[in-house]
Amino acid sequence: MISVKEAKDILSRNCEKGRISEFKLEQSLGKILAEDIHSPMDVPSFDNSAMDGYAMQFHEKYRHWKVSGLVQAGDTESIEVGPGEAVRIFTGAKMPKGADTVIQQELIDKQGNNSIYYNSGKITTGSNVRLKGSQCKKGEKILQKGARITPGIIGLLASVGVSKVAIFTPPLVGCVVTGNELKEVGEQLMDGEIYNSNGPMLEALLKKTGVGEITALRAQDDKNELQQTINKALAENDVLLLSGGISVGDYDFVKECLESAGVKELFYKIKQRPGKPFYAGKKEEKWVFALPGNPASVLSCFNQYVQPCLKTIMGEEQVWQPDLELTLSEETRKKPGFTFFMKGKKEDGKVTLLTGQQSFNLQAFSTADCLVELDEEMAVVPKGTMVKVYNL
Ligand code: AMP
Ligand code: MG
């Protein structure tokens, strides 16, 4: 049996960024950019007005102009403005040739039909003009590889005319839930049966992590059926997750079937609670994680091991650190020799361990917002101890 740290070291050593592929801008939200982006154009691509007002060649001495034309946002023809002339202009409209300044309409007095007057002293040459290339020049680096695509970044990329980006491809994940005792939500339970809660929870965890297509599969505790399901799921996905059947019971066939499918074990069993019989393996570039069936083990093993690996494949860095460190609000006792991952709630800069931590009990899942790591060697963890906290 290995320690939590050893398990994480093995995974981080073996896990690399995944394939890169091109994604349409509208499909890139939340994903990680796999290349630097250089702007293919000057933005703005033409000098334009930042205000509704009048454009002219400005000179301190002149206060009166004759209005000689009009230009609206989207007009593509070039108009010219001569000395002593001004052109009516609107926000975003192309600056007329010969004009270098816009006076906003609030500072203008109209005199008759075609004549304007200005006397506020607020304007200098170049006021209210957005110059060509002032956001970025053609060829300038506007985004760094490794950036997570946000709605703002989508806006930026669209503004420079980029419609496709190179992304670390989210992996296809097959999710096999094992157990004769399981029925799907909506089905009738017989005495001795339970609802499959790991399946929907794992799917939600995978979606939240941002993976590609998820294929949900079910297998009975039957070696042949399980073998076929595993072989198919491995062939069709980049990552295979299993729930249940990885412990030492007579009907726990997962490990055996993975070996028969050609999966090479990285480790099996970690000195931790919950989730001791957690298995990680690889078949060439494909990843396999077998999680013990207890729902608390599933949540904890996914959070601690599966999610960081998936994030690495999807191009994220620094995935193995805790999200934060907080002080424990109350003393707690634990069995030494095992790292504990307890469901917790963050409050006022402290973290409280919730009641109902048994591995079958899902009630605390409703209020937990984090997992708290309690060190392997500790037996009593005093109130006020700094503990590692992982967001759920
Ligand atoms: P196993 O790891 O298969 O021995 O399962 C351990 C415990 O988790 C047993 O009490 C199972 O009934 C329960 N369990 C296994 N799979 C699921 C599941 N998909 N949803 C809810 N509980 C499960
Ligand atoms: Mg089972």
How far does residue 342's CA lie from ligand 2's centre (Å)? 23
Using the 8-state DSSP alphabet, how is residue 27 labeled? G
Reply yes or no: is the peptide bond before residue 44 cis, omega within 30 of 0: yes
- SS3 at position 215: strand
Closest ligand to C-alpha of residue 182 is 1
Identify whether the C-beta of residue 178 lies closer than 8 Å to the C-beta of residue 222. Answer: no
The pLDDT score that the predictor gives to residue 360 is: 83
Distance CA 172, CA 169 (A): 9
Burial of residue 208, with CB atoms counted within 10 A of its CB: 0-12 exposed, 13-18 middle, 19 or more buried: exposed
Identify whether the C-beta of residue 102 lies closer than 8 Å to the C-beta of residue 52. Answer: no
CATH number at residue 157: 3.90.105.10
Domain shared by 177 and 305, yes or no: yes
Distance CA 133, CA 124 (A): 21
- SS3 at position 69: strand
Give the nearest ligand 1 atom to 181 CA: 12
CATH number at residue 342: 2.40.340.10
Write down the residue that tokens 């075609």 correspond to: 114
Give the binding-site residues of ligand 1, using a 6 Å CB cut-off: 177, 179, 181-182, 194, 196-199, 243-245, 247, 249, 292-295, 360
With a threshold of 0.75, does the pTM exceed it? yes
- The first and second tokens of residue 178, run together, are 């094992």
Domain shared by 239 and 298, yes or no: yes
The pLDDT score that the predictor gives to residue 289 is: 99
How far does residue 76's CA lie from ligand 2's centre (Å)? 69
Domain shared by 247 and 307, yes or no: yes
Domain shared by 107 and 147, yes or no: no
Distance CA 262, CA 281 (A): 10
In a domain, 23, yes or no: no
Protein residue with least CA distance to atom 11, ligand 1? 293
Protein residue with least CA distance to atom 16, ligand 1? 293
Distance CA 345, CA 331 (A): 15
How far does residue 237's CA lie from ligand 1's centre (Å)? 23
- The first and second tokens of residue 109, run together, are 């007095």
Closest ligand to C-alpha of residue 180 is 2
The pLDDT score that the predictor gives to residue 113 is: 81
Candidate of 185, 294, 299 to mutate for ligand 1, largest count of ligand atoms within 8 Å of Cβ: 294
Protein residue with least CA distance to atom 23, ligand 1? 293
Protein residue with least CA distance to atom 10, ligand 1? 294
Domain shared by 222 and 269, yes or no: yes
Instruction: Name the domain count of the chain.
Output: 4
Distance CA 218, CA 22 (A): 32
Domain boundary among 294, 313, 332: 313
How far does residue 265's CA lie from ligand 2's centre (Å)? 20
Distance CA 302, CA 208 (A): 12
Identify whether the C-beta of residue 374 lies closer than 8 Å to the C-beta of residue 330. Answer: no
Alpha helices in the chain (DSSP H): 4-14, 151-159, 198-209, 223-236, 254-260, 295-301, 307-313
Distance CA 87, CA 66 (A): 8
How far does residue 100's CA lie from ligand 2's centre (Å)? 76
How far does residue 2's CA lie from ligand 2's centre (Å)? 23
Q: What is the pLDDT along the chain (392 residues), one digit of tens a residue?
A: 999 999 999 999 999 999 999 999 999 999 999 999 999 999 999 999 999 999 999 998 889 999 999 999 999 999 999 999 999 999 999 999 999 999 999 999 998 889 999 988 889 999 999 999 999 999 999 999 999 999 999 999 999 999 999 999 999 999 999 999 999 999 999 999 999 999 999 999 999 999 999 999 999 999 999 999 999 999 999 999 999 999 999 999 999 999 999 999 999 999 999 999 999 999 999 999 999 999 999 999 999 999 999 999 999 999 999 999 999 999 999 999 999 999 999 999 999 999 988 878 889 999 999 999 999 999 999 999 999 999 99
Domain shared by 142 and 36, yes or no: yes
Print the domain residue range for 97: 48-130
Domain shared by 153 and 240, yes or no: no
- The first and second tokens of residue 24, run together, are 């349409």
Question: In this structure, what are the phi and psi dihedrals at residue 257, rounded to the nearest 5 degrees?
Answer: -70, -35
Domain shared by 220 and 151, yes or no: no
In a domain, 318, yes or no: no
Give the nearest ligand 1 atom to 221 CA: 3
Domain shared by 222 and 274, yes or no: yes
CATH number at residue 209: 3.40.980.10
In a domain, 319, yes or no: no
Distance CA 206, CA 310 (A): 9
Candidate of 176, 187, 194 to mutate for ligand 1, largest count of ligand atoms within 8 Å of Cβ: 194
Using the 8-state DSSP alphabet, how is residue 172 labeled? P
How far does residue 222's CA lie from ligand 1's centre (Å)? 15
In a domain, 24, yes or no: no
Domain boundary among 265, 287, 313: 313
In a domain, 224, yes or no: yes
Distance CA 71, CA 88 (A): 6
CATH number at residue 67: 2.170.190.11
In a domain, 300, yes or no: yes
Give the nearest ligand 1 atom to 297 CA: 8
Domain shared by 163 and 295, yes or no: no
Residue-wise DSSP of 321-366: S-SEEEEESS-EE--TTSEEEEEEEEETTEEEEPS---TT--GGGG
Domain shared by 181 and 287, yes or no: yes
Intra-chain end-to-end CA distance of the chain, in Å: 26
Domain shared by 239 and 280, yes or no: yes
- Paired with 215 in beta bridges are 174
The pLDDT score that the predictor gives to residue 311 is: 98
In a domain, 140, yes or no: yes
Protein residue with least CA distance to atom 15, ligand 1? 293
Distance CA 372, CA 392 (A): 10
Domain boundary among 313, 335, 363: 313
